[in-house]
Amino acid sequence: MSEHGVSGSPFEQPASFEFTPENVKTAKWHIAKYPPDRQASAVLPLLDLAQRQHDNWLPRAAMDYVAEMLDMAPIRVYEVATFYTMFNLRPVGRWFLQACTTTPCWLRGSDDILSACRKKLGIGIGETSADGQFTLVEVECLGACVNAPILQVNDDFYEDLDGPATEQLLDQLAAGTQPPMGSAIGRQGSMPVGGKTTLTELVAAHDGKGNAG
């Protein structure tokens, strides 16, 4: 059945889907966490497993496969997959870019991240690059506001970005190299941008009996 991708281009739904032997074992491990009459509770991890196996998107055949494995009506699995934005129901690029534009990231320059994506990749929100390597979407809070602005690339966070840093990141990804995740300015954890101002020295550990280690 023909559908349309993120950027509107047509794509074909695969006729079938099944887990690899390794993923069958993983799926059964998730299912075993729940009582026999509550196995539908494993639908989220199984859908995530299917998406990771299928190039980061969920075809209808995969949802039907999960439904059969969990003895669920397919429509119930569709409801879950369409409710959670973590699931992609159409093909996405190798590098799936999720730009947070919620208030903290916006105040810290998320517009510059989006501008860099438009400049380097020629795409806007909801589009995939012509070479199929990048897909850009807008997301709500990624939960790392202290290191805003944030761009999530697949599973990894890139923090404290600005326009040039984003362009450099995209260049590296385009070359097939994914740089280490984390802060673009070398910030550790959630320390202030200017560096630590309190607790600047380590305190000796204690063994619980009042003795320093």
Q: SS in 3 state form for the chain?
A: CEEECCCCCEEECCCCCCCCHHHHHHHHHHHCCCCHHHHHHHHHHHHHHHHHHCCCCCCHHHHHHHHHHCCCCHHHHHHHHHHCCCCCCCCCCCEEEEEECCHHHHHCCHHHHHHHHHHHHCCCCCEECCCCCEEEEEECCCCCHHHCCCEEECCEEEECCCHHHHHHHHHHHHCCCCCCCEECCCCCCCCCCCCCCCCCCCCCCECCCCCEC
Task: Supply the pLDDT for residue 6.
Answer: 46
Confidence category of residue 193, pLDDT binned at 50, 70, 90: confident
Spatial separation of the C-alpha atoms in residues 161 and 114, rounded to whole Å: 11
Find the distance separating the first CA and the last CA of the chain, reported in whole Å: 66
The rounded percent of the chain whose pLDDT value lies above 90 is 76
Task: Supply the pLDDT for residue 36.
Answer: 86
Here the tokens at position 72 are 């669920």
Determine the average pLDDT of the residues in 183-201. 79
pTM, to two decimals: 0.81
Long-range contacts of 189-198 (CB under 8 A, 24+ apart): 190/146, 190/147, 193/160
Task: Supply the pLDDT for residue 93.
Answer: 94
Task: Supply the pLDDT for residue 119.
Answer: 95
Determine the average pLDDT of the residues in 25-50. 96
Task: Supply the pLDDT for residue 187.
Answer: 85
Residue 213 has pLDDT above 80, yes or no: no
Summary mean pLDDT of the chain = 89
Residue 8 has pLDDT above 70, yes or no: no
Determine the average pLDDT of the residues in 140-157. 94
In this predicted model, what pLDDT tens digit does every residue of 48-89 receive, in sequence order?
999 999 999 999 999 999 999 999 999 999 999 999 989 999
Tokens 């509550």 belong to residue: 38
Spatial separation of the C-alpha atoms in residues 19 and 42, rounded to whole Å: 15
**Sign of dihedral through CA atoms 56, 58, 61, 64?**
positive
**Domains along the chain?**
2-83 (1.10.10.1590), 95-183 (3.40.30.10)
Task: Supply the pLDDT for residue 196.
Answer: 74
The residue among 58 and 5 whose pLDDT is bigger is 58
Here the tokens at position 156 are 């990894």
Residue 105 has pLDDT above 80, yes or no: yes
Selection from 89, 160, 172 nearest residue 134 by Cα: 172
Residue 154 region by backbone torsions, left for phi larger than 0, else alpha for psi between -120 and 50, else beta: left
Confidence category of residue 2, pLDDT binned at 50, 70, 90: very low
